C-alpha cells in the first residue's frame, strides 16, 4: 500500500516551531520511525507552503490513501476541500495540536468533511494513529 502524507504551511518547521505545541521531533526523523514501524507500507511525503502545489500533488493519484495536515489551509481552503472531495480513496486529516483548544478561527475545518476521519491533539503521533486507522 502506498500512503501519501501531505503537510501544509510551516510544517516543514516541525521540531523547531513552537515546540511546546508541535514537539521537538522533525518530520524527517518521525518519517524514519514510521517507515520502520510500517515496513510493508510505502510512505510518500510531501510538504508545501503553497496551496496550489498541495492540490497538484494530491491530483497526481499515485497513492492508495492520504494522510493530510493542511495546516492553516484547514480553516479556509475550499480549493483543498474540493480536491479532497474528488479523491475516492481513504483520507485522514491530522492536526498535531488540539485545534479545539486553540484560537476560535482554528476550531473550524473546511476540509474535514471530505475526509474519513480527523485526529487532533495527539501530537506528532497523530500520523501513526492515522496509519493504524487505515487498517494496513
What residues are labeled active site?
22, 95
On whether the CB atoms of residues 75 and 34 are closer than 8 A, the answer is no
Q: Which of 34, 29, 74, 33 is nearest to 54 (CA)?
A: 74
Which residues does residue 92 pair with via DSSP β-bridges, in sequence order?
67, 117
Asked whether residue 124 is marked as a ligand-binding residue, the answer is no
Helix, strand, or coil here: 129?
A: helix
69 is in an annotated binding site: yes
The response to whether 106 counts as a known ligand-binding position is: yes
Q: Confirm or deny that 57 is annotated as ligand binding.
A: no
Q: State the cell numbers at 118.
A: 480527523
- Is 120 labelled a binding residue? no
Residues placed in the known binding site: 69, 75, 82, 96-97, 106
Residues placed in the known binding site for substrate: 69, 75, 82, 96-97, 106
Amino acid at each position: 500500500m502506498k500512503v501519501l502524507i501531505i503537510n501544509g504551511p510551516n510544517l516543514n518547521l516541525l521540531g523547531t516551531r513552537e515546540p511546546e505545541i508541535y514537539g521537538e521531533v522533525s518530520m524527517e526523523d518521525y518519517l524514519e520511525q514510521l517507515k520502520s514501524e510500517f515496513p510493508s507500507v510505502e510512505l510518500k511525503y510531501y510538504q508545501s507552503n503553497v496551496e496550489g502545489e498541495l492540490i497538484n500533488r494530491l491530483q497526481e493519484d499515485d497513492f492508495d490513501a492520504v494522510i493530510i495536515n493542511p495546516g492553516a489551509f484547514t480553516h479556509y481552503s475550499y480549493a483543498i476541500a474540493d480536491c479532497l472531495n474528488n479523491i475516492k480513496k481513504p483520507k485522514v486529516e491530522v492536526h498535531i495540536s488540539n485545534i479545539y483548544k486553540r484560537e476560535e478561527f482554528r476550531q473550524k475545518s473546511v476540509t474535514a468533511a471530505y475526509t474519513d476521519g480527523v485526529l487532533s491533539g495527539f501530537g506528532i503521533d497523530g500520523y501513526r494513529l492515522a496509519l493504524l486507522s487505515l487498517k494496513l
